[in-house]
Amino acid sequence: MSLKTIFISAVYLLIVSCNRGPDNAGNDATPTPASSPTPTAATTAACGMADGICPAACTFYDDNDCVKCNSVVGLTAPVESCSAEWPCTNLLPTYPAQGIYEISTGSDIPSCQTQFPTAATIVGCVRGGRGAFNDGPPKNWIDEDGISRYWCEYRPSGTASNSKRPLLIYIPGSGSNADAIYDFTLLRAKAIDYDNLSGDSSRKGIILVSTQGRNLHWPTASTEEGSKHDSYHRNLATNRDVAFVDHIIDTLVAEGVVDPNRIYLTGWSNGARFATFYGISRHQTATAGGNKVAAVAVYSGGDPYENIATEQSPSCKQNPYPQTQLPFLVITRNCDAITCNQEHFDTFSAEGWIITPGNQVEAWFSTLQNTMNNSHAQWLKINYYGADTASCLALPICTRQTATRNHFCWPDGISDGGGVDREIDLLEFLKSNPR
Residue 16, SS3 per DSSP = coil
Give the CA angle between residues 36, 42, 43 to the nearest 5°.
35
| Higher local confidence (pLDDT), 28 or 247 | 247
pLDDT digits (tens, 9 = 90+) for 206-221: 999 999 999 999 776 5
pLDDT at 2 over 50: no
Tell me which amino acid residue 190 is: K
DSSP structure string for 364-414? HHHIIIIIS--TTEEEEEE-TTS-B-SSPPPTTTS-HHHHHHHHTS-SSSS
Specify the pLDDT at position 98: 87
pLDDT digits (tens, 9 = 90+) for 381-434: 999 999 999 999 999 999 999 999 999 999 999 999 999 999 999 999 999 999
Q: How confident is the model at residue 25 (pLDDT cuts 50, 70, 90)?
A: very low
Phi, psi (5° rounding) for residue 376? -115, 15
| Higher local confidence (pLDDT), 325 or 1 | 325
User: What's 298's domain CATH number?
Assistant: 3.40.50.1820
Phi, psi (5° rounding) for residue 276? -65, -50
Specify the pLDDT at position 100: 95
Report yes or no on 41 lying in a domain. Answer: no
Residues 6 or more apart whose CB falls under 8 angstroms from that of 101 comprise: 89, 91, 95
| Higher local confidence (pLDDT), 310 or 61 | 310
Specify the pLDDT at position 41: 42
Spatial contact of 204 and 302, defined as CB atoms under 8 Å apart:
no
Please state the pTM of the whole predicted model: 0.89
Spatial contact of 165 and 203, defined as CB atoms under 8 Å apart:
yes
| Alpha-carbon gap, residue 343 to 192, rounded angstroms | 42
The pLDDT of 368-378, averaged and rounded, is 98
Task: Count how many domains the chain has.
Answer: 1
Specify the pLDDT at position 20: 33
| Alpha-carbon gap, residue 176 to 213, rounded angstroms | 8
The pLDDT of 347-374, averaged and rounded, is 96
pLDDT at 116 over 90: yes
pLDDT digits (tens, 9 = 90+) for 140-193: 999 999 999 999 999 999 999 999 999 999 999 999 999 999 999 999 999 999
Please state, rounded to an integer, the average pLDDT across all residues of the chain.
88
The pLDDT of 84-89, averaged and rounded, is 94
Largest CA distance in the chain: 67
Q: Residue 264: in which H helix or E strand, if any?
A: strand 258-267
Report yes or no on 242 lying in a domain. Answer: yes
Q: How confident is the model at residue 332 (pLDDT cuts 50, 70, 90)?
A: very high
Which pairing describes strands 226-228 and 69-70: parallel, antiparallel, or unpaired?
unpaired
C-alpha distance from residue 301 to each of 176, 221, 225, 297, 362 (Å): 15, 23, 19, 10, 11
The pLDDT of 113-121, averaged and rounded, is 96
C-alpha distance from residue 112 to each of 48, 193, 204, 258, 311 (Å): 43, 19, 22, 21, 40
Residues 6 or more apart whose CB falls under 8 angstroms from that of 385 comprise: 416, 417, 418, 419, 420
Report yes or no on 258 lying in a domain. Answer: yes
Spatial contact of 331 and 297, defined as CB atoms under 8 Å apart:
yes
Q: How confident is the model at residue 236 (pLDDT cuts 50, 70, 90)?
A: very high
pLDDT at 28 over 70: no
Report yes or no on 38 lying in a domain. Answer: no
Specify the pLDDT at position 185: 98
Specify the pLDDT at position 62: 65
Backbone dihedral region for residue 309 (phi beyond 0: left; psi -120 to 50: alpha; all else: beta): beta
| Higher local confidence (pLDDT), 322 or 221 | 322
| Alpha-carbon gap, residue 174 to 386, rounded angstroms | 23
Report yes or no on 44 lying in a domain. Answer: no
Report yes or no on 45 lying in a domain. Answer: no
pLDDT at 224 over 90: no
Specify the pLDDT at position 122: 85
pLDDT digits (tens, 9 = 90+) for 260-287: 999 999 999 999 999 999 999 999 999 9
pLDDT at 44 over 50: no
Q: How confident is the model at residue 223 (pLDDT cuts 50, 70, 90)?
A: confident
The pLDDT of 249-253, averaged and rounded, is 98
Q: Residue 296: in which H helix or E strand, if any?
A: strand 295-299
**How many residues belong to the chain?**
435
Q: How confident is the model at residue 55 (pLDDT cuts 50, 70, 90)?
A: confident
Report yes or no on 217 lying in a domain. Answer: yes
Q: Residue 254: in which H helix or E strand, if any?
A: helix 240-255
Per cent of the chain over pLDDT 90 is 75
Q: What share of the chain is helix, strand, coil (3-state, %, to 5)?
A: 20, 20, 60
Domain range spanning residue 220? 3-32+67-431
Q: Residue 153: in which H helix or E strand, if any?
A: strand 148-154
| CB hemisphere CA count around 395 (13 angstroms) | 14
pLDDT at 300 over 90: yes
pLDDT digits (tens, 9 = 90+) for 338-353: 999 999 999 999 999 9
Report yes or no on 316 lying in a domain. Answer: yes
Spatial contact of 377 and 354, defined as CB atoms under 8 Å apart:
no
Q: Residue 283: in which H helix or E strand, if any?
A: helix 270-284
- H-helix segments, 114-223: 180-183, 187-190
